[in-house]
Amino acid sequence: MESRRKEFDQIPDARKAELTCLAEDIRSRLMKEDPVRIIFICTHNSRRSHMSQLWAQLAAGYYGVKDIHCFSGGTEATAFHPLAVKTMRESGFRIGTQIPGANPVYRVTFPGHPEDNRVFSKKYTDPPNPARDFIAVMTCSDADEACPIVNGAASRHALHYDDPKSFDGKANEMKGYAERSRQIAMEMLFLFSLIQDIDIADQTHT
């Protein structure tokens, strides 16, 4: 985690602006003492959206930002891709198969977040994702274009990532997945570093 924090200067200014806009949205909700629900959305809910969900939840815990609840979904359901699962395991997440099958249900635990996470591929409208009053974060351009309206979203942000699927079957596939995971981790840490110093109690009662 510390090594990712030291890489914040590698984030382009335009990207920092996008992350800052999202941070301000999250901050405004926390100022109202509302739990913040974020759904990370990509087409198949198989790689980028799951990585973003898990790194965002970990980053919120790392910086002590409470009342953050992260989810993921797609415009269609497939499965949490095995290479993405392997990458997250190698990044330190504890991921066990709870229900095997074509679309396995995984149990994910990690430091700073006491609750277990049940992770599997689903549409963004499927349970346990919230049905309304959530922040939609579009992690791929295809899903962003396919969903001009995200039903139930209170706000929407585009935060596109290149698909590590392009590395599937190649000699450097795990290197490609690790690089995408590293980028997402770095940006989620940067995002929540912008929120960490907010004092909700003082701000809401002054």
Phi, psi dihedral angles at 176 (to 5 degrees): -65, -45
Q: Indicate the residue type of 65.
A: V
Q: Is residue 203 part of a domain?
A: no
Q: What residue spans of 63-170 are helical by DSSP H?
A: 82-90, 141-146
Give the mean pLDDT of 135-156.
Answer: 92
Q: Is residue 190 part of a domain?
A: yes
Q: Is residue 6 part of a domain?
A: yes
Give the mean pLDDT of 134-139.
Answer: 97
- State the SS3 of 143-203: HHHHCCCCCCEEEEEECCCCCHHHHCCCCCHHHHHHHHHHHHHHHHHHHHHCCCCCCHHHH
Q: Is residue 42 part of a domain?
A: yes
d(CA 59, CA 144): 24
Domain count, the chain: 1
Q: Is residue 152 part of a domain?
A: yes
Q: Is residue 205 part of a domain?
A: no
- What pLDDT was estimated at residue 1? 67
Q: Per-residue confidence at 204, pLDDT binned at 50, 70, 90?
A: very low
Q: Is residue 58 part of a domain?
A: yes
Average pLDDT for the chain: 91
- What pLDDT was estimated at residue 114? 62
- What pLDDT was estimated at residue 117? 85
Give the mean pLDDT of 176-200.
Answer: 89
Which CATH number fits the domain that encloses residue 186? 3.40.50.2300
d(CA 155, CA 37): 11
Q: Model's pTM, two decimal places?
A: 0.92
**Which of 119-128, 177-186, 189-198 is predicted least confidently?**
189-198
Domain that holds residue 44: 2-197
Over residues 45-70, the pLDDT tens digits come to 999 999 999 999 999 999 999 999 99
- What pLDDT was estimated at residue 113? 65
Percent of the chain with pLDDT over 70: 92
Q: Is residue 69 part of a domain?
A: yes
